[in-house]
Amino acid sequence: MTERQYIKISVEDRIAVLTIDHPPVNALNTPTMQELNSALDELAADDGVKAIVITGAGQYAFVAGADINEIAALKGPEDARAVVLMGQGILNKIENMRKPVIAAINSVCLGGGNELAMSCHMRVATDRARFGQPEINLGIIPGFGGTQRLPRLVGKAKALEMLLTGDMITAQEAHRIGLVNKVVPEGEVVKAAKDLAKKVLTKGQVAVGKIMEVVDQGLQTSLEKGLLLEADGFAAITATEDMREGVAAFLQKRQPKFQDR
């Protein structure tokens, strides 16, 4: 793996743990985002990596947001637009990845950090985590997808409450409204995220990738067109070795041995 200043990667049991390490609060400045982008490309191309866990270093924050100094230094609307399009492109890369990406949220998760977490396919949080989109307190709006992903995850009314007040919510509230999948005790969040990834990795990865593809594409269209995407995906999967093995294992009352093809 390439050595980076702000992004650390370890791989074990086909799961990569990507740690954002930019003290003191893992702010997403431009160098950190650039390293994140290159790390995602590296992990996407690595056939030995089947799932990714993203977490933050230290005890103060998963990611506390964008670098406010960089926002203050923006030279005008065009400069600002270029910055947010860059960030959106990187987070879209996470959302569109066909390997499961799970956020392990170890502490405060605000602004760009919450936008990063929302771009992941699943989210596990420690019980002391806090979530919010506080951009309104600076007289600005989210730029890395917060106004779009948050309503899709928690509904329009709750999203607007968070976006318009800038208030933080607890991990327990985030779980209640569907922002996170699971809340675990402090110190167990990375293990819990890896355990979730390991469970997904026991399944046929061709079907895993196809489900992620159909869900993502279906959410961008009508139900009618989404059902056609599902039908096409189901038809394609029936031609795979994994499908034959899975059905045979069920009929023979044994565990399947998927080969991911």
Q: Can 213 be counted among the known catalytic residues?
A: no
Helix (H) or strand (E) holding 125: strand 122-126
DSSP 8-state class, residue 134? G
- Give the closest residue to 212 by CA, choosing from 244, 237, 243: 237
CA-nearest of 55, 171, 166, 65 to 120 is 55
> Among residues 115, 213, 224, 241, which one is catalytic?
115
115 is catalytic: yes
Instruction: Given the residues 35, 42, 78, 135, select the one marked as catalytic.
Output: 135
Cis peptide before 24 (omega within 30 of 0): yes
> Rounded to the nearest 5°, which phi and psi values hold at 18?
-100, 115
Residue 72 identity (one-letter amino acid): A
Tokens (6 digits) for 51: 């799932």
Alpha-carbon gap, residue 225 to 106, rounded angstroms: 38
Instruction: Give the tokens for residue 38.
Output: 């290159």
Q: Which residues make Cβ contacts (< 8 Å) with residue 8, sequence separation at least 6?
A: 18, 19, 21, 57
Number of residues assigned to the chain:
261
Enzyme catalytic residues: 115, 135
